[in-house]
Amino acid sequence: MKKVLLAAAVASFGLSAAQAAPTLYGKLNVSLNQVANKDYKGTDETQLNSNASRIGVKGEEKLTDNVAAIYQAEWAISTDGSGSDGDLSARNRFLGLKFKDIGTLKAGQYDSYFKNAAGKYQDIFNDDTNLDITKTMYGEERLKNVIGFETDKKLIIPGLQFNIMAQAGENNSSAYSTKKRDSLNGISTSLSYENKDYGVATAIAGNFAIAGAYNALGLKDIESDAYRLTGSFDLSKIGIEGLVLGGLFQHAKPSNAPSAADLTAAKLDARVASLKEQAWIIQATYNMANTPWTVKGQYQSAKTKWTGDDRTLDQYGVGVDYNFNKQARFYGVLAQQKRDWQKDDDKKTVLGLGMEYNF
């Protein structure tokens, strides 16, 4: 009976036996959080957060012996009903061609390669509504109107991959840029290497004229040049079972910025001409042997400065996971962010319990 129903469903979509059906996937991540001083003005709040929950379809269809079509369309799901995510808002989506043993060409809207250079051993609070690194540092953008190419991980040497994407000029530029965006202007690129036998993963990434946010100053859509270095090492390869160390360092500054005089004439903040941000992360993840428990800790800091003003935004925290299997986990987090430029109410504390399920 199940086979009959499946055949009917396939036929209803007009799919032949030779066509590969798309894969439906998703992630639901819901947490209950107590946030002290959530707005840095003394207000406390109990939150139910959706934490970047999502649903999508993806697939790969063979066109010739050496070429396949690939696609993905993903939407945010507001599992808490409202607030932390826009329900059914666009996330990663693209259409492309995969060339056997060479690489993949993609066009659409998806995460920058600069962003993807930070993996699970750098951004351990990834997707958390309050604690994701997008809340503290530049570079966590999902880019619209991009064309990208990703080499096959075996094309150059095993484990080495080069990625590059270009952003079309139809994406509006910032008021702080003097360069007209009428062609493929913004570039995001990365070079990554992973060797599981040695427990090493590392990447170097660069953004060129990619708009992003400087959180400490409340600035958004500032076209910037930046570089990011990331790495992790699995210490089980040297006899320390279960422990992985990771880190990130990056530097960012505006690209094509007008002079201070031009900014003043345009009634914009002239200090943007001197803007710079330097950020880093160190973290440790410990998987307890023969148990479903994982403990992790992280410290990160972003120092942003411009003429007459230096600001540092710090975040430190710990997390505990109970992994039922590869799909489901319970977790707890305790973390604090601190603004060094505020005299009062300069710390925000987050305590939370949650569950994540992948399908």
What DSSP character marks residue 150? E
Q: How far apart are CA 199 and CA 137, in angstroms?
A: 27
If the chain, 359 residues long, is cut into consecutive pieces of 10 residues, what is the mean pLDDT of each piece? 44 52 95 95 94 96 97 93 72 97 97 95 93 95 96 94 92 63 84 96 96 93 95 96 97 85 80 94 96 97 95 97 96 97 95 97
What are 97's strand-pairing partners? 69, 105
Using CA atoms, how far residue 33 sits from 17, 38, 161, 352, in Å, is 48, 11, 38, 4
Element (H, E) at 4: helix 2-12
Q: What is the structure's pLDDT at 261?
A: 82
Q: What is the structure's pLDDT at 145?
A: 94
Q: What is the structure's pLDDT at 12?
A: 47
Phi and psi for 92 in degrees, rounded to 5? -70, 135
Longest dimension (CA), the chain: 75
Q: What is the structure's pLDDT at 171?
A: 57
What are 328's strand-pairing partners? 357
Q: What is the structure's pLDDT at 13?
A: 46
User: Residue 115: is it exposed, middle or buried by C-beta count within 10 angstroms (0-12/13-18/19+)?
Assistant: buried
Q: How far apart are CA 111 and CA 143, in angstroms?
A: 6
Phi and psi for 265 in degrees, rounded to 5? -65, -30
Note every long-range contact of 316-322, with CB atoms under 8 Å and residues 24 or more positions apart, other chains counting.
Answer: 317/125, 317/131, 317/350, 319/124, 319/125, 319/295, 320/293, 320/294, 320/295, 320/296, 321/293, 321/294, 321/295, 321/296, 322/292, 322/293
DSSP 3-state of 271: helix
Which residue is listed with tokens 């690939």? 70
Closest CA relative to residue 178, chosen from 227, 223, 225: 223
What are 96's strand-pairing partners? 70, 106
Q: What is the structure's pLDDT at 18?
A: 52
Q: How far apart are CA 80 and CA 84, in angstroms?
A: 8
Q: What is the structure's pLDDT at 9?
A: 47
Q: What is the structure's pLDDT at 270?
A: 87
Going along the chain, which residue ranges are E strands? 23-36, 45-49, 54-62, 67-76, 90-99, 103-111, 142-151, 160-168, 184-195, 200-214, 219-234, 243-254, 276-287, 293-306, 309-323, 328-339, 347-358
CB atoms closer than 10 angstroms to residue 187: 19
Q: What is the structure's pLDDT at 292?
A: 97
Closest CA relative to residue 280, chosen from 243, 351, 227, 242: 227
